[in-house]
Structure 1
């Protein structure tokens, strides 16, 4: 049987990503670091590694830092899903440049969800998992209590699909993805409803 927590099993890293994508709200390394640290802690990620070609026990941990993200591109670990399954997970930063905001994407690959036996399709014309949506939203809420951010979006490959400036503090009435939107310092969650 395939372990959904095995780094070397390429099937675990396939099929795209189920994500909590966070618009940090600045291009400041310190703010990105604060969100990364808060998110990694909220998720209870086991380890922090720079190489997905070796199992965790075969490599040294790397610091969970913006510097490590820059060096390795992605940080990998293992996380326990609400179903109890331990799966691979990762994180990547999408730097905004001079005029935009940084994004931090925490993800569980769809291949790992398949190998863990988690249903995420439900016959809809797109990937959706209420279990994953609720869990990732809870991680976003916990992260926000430690490090505020401009926007969070939850779902299948959702990074960059919207931004705080476009939403201007207004939750979309119809939502194909989940939104974590701060309004007056309070984070509101609008679950996907279409």
Structure 2
């Protein structure tokens, strides 16, 4: 079996993504850069690479910048999960333009989670992993301490499922995903509860 940290193993990148999606709060490059830098540091990502079809040692690292995100479409690295395993990870920006806020999605592919044995589906209608939810929420909280943002959501392919203006400062009482909702200078975490 190949390593869940191998870039070349396409099965590591398969089957969708467990995400921390962050609504930055603006469409300004500087704000996106601040959140990207804080997120990469909070998750303690090893390396920053523009390609995921070559191993890290087979390519030059790239700066962890909005410019690199624009050039390559995604940034890739390796991250140590709270269970101790090193796995592939990535990040993509969804630019909002003048009409809406940018989003930054940090993801761990399900293929890599499968290889390390992290369960994320138990028959409920939504994929869920308490281990991943808690870890990604902690990464989001640490990111927020350095770079405030409008909203964070945690779960399986959660990008675009809601936004800060829709929530209007209130956590939904019934949650299929996790929410990181700022209230003033404090970030409130509402874990998935369905």
Name the TM-score class by shorter chain. Answer: over 0.9
Q: Does 2:10 match 1:22?
A: no
TM-score (norm 2): 0.99
Secondary structure of the residue aligned to 2:79 is strand
Give the match for residue 92 of structure 1: 92
CA distance in 1: counterparts of 2:81 and 2:164, whole angstroms = 28
Contact 1:22 1:104 (8 Å CA) reproduced: yes
**Take 1:187 and 1:102, find their aligned partners in 2: how far apart are those partners?**
19
State whether residues 126 and 176 of structure 2, in contact with CA within 8 Å, keep that contact through their aligned partners in structure 1.
no
Aligned to 1:11: 11
Post-superposition shift, 1:193?
A: 0.2
What secondary structure, in the 3-state scheme, does the structure 2 residue paired with 1:90 have?
A: strand
Q: What displacement does 1:174 show?
A: 0.3
Shift of 1:2: 2.1
State the distance in 2 between where 1:122 and 1:40 align. 30
> 1: distance between equivalents of 2:184 and 2:78?
34
Question: Where in structure 2 are the equivalents of 1:169-188 lying within 5 Å?
Answer: 169-188=169-188
- Give secondary structure in 1 for the equivalent of 2:132: helix
1:110 match: 110
Distance of 2:121 and 2:87 partners within structure 1: 18
Question: Are the counterparts in 2 of residues 155 and 178 from structure 1 also a CA contact under 8 Å?
Answer: yes
State whether residues 175 and 193 of structure 2, in contact with CA within 8 Å, keep that contact through their aligned partners in structure 1.
Answer: yes
Task: Measure, in 1, the Cα distance between the counterparts of 2:55 and 2:125.
Answer: 35
Following TM superposition, by how much is the alpha carbon of 1:136 offset from its aligned partner in structure 2, in angstroms?
Answer: 0.1
| Rounded Cα–Cα distance in structure 2 between residues aligned with 1:143 and 1:160 | 19
Q: Normalising to structure 1: TM-score of the pair?
A: 0.99
Alpha-carbon distance between aligned partners in 2 of 1:140 and 1:102, rounded to the nearest angstrom: 16
- Consecutive unaligned residues of structure 1, counting only runs of 5 or more, are none
Distance 1:72 1:185 in 2: 33
Alignment match, 1:71: 71
Rounded to whole Å, the distance in 2 between the matches of 1:99 and 1:40 is: 27
Instruction: Tell me the alpha carbon deviations over residues 56-103 of structure 1, each in whole angstroms, 9 at most, x when there is no partner.
Output: 011110000000000000000000000000000000000001110000
Unaligned runs of 5+ in 2: none
Alpha-carbon contact 2:27-2:100 (below 8 Å) kept: yes
Any idea what SS the aligned residue of 1:70 has?
helix
**Native 8 Å contact 2:27 2:101 kept in 1:** yes
**d(CA) in 2 for partners of 1:52 and 1:193?**
34
> CA-atom RMSD, angstroms?
0.6
Q: How many residue pairs align between the two structures?
A: 194
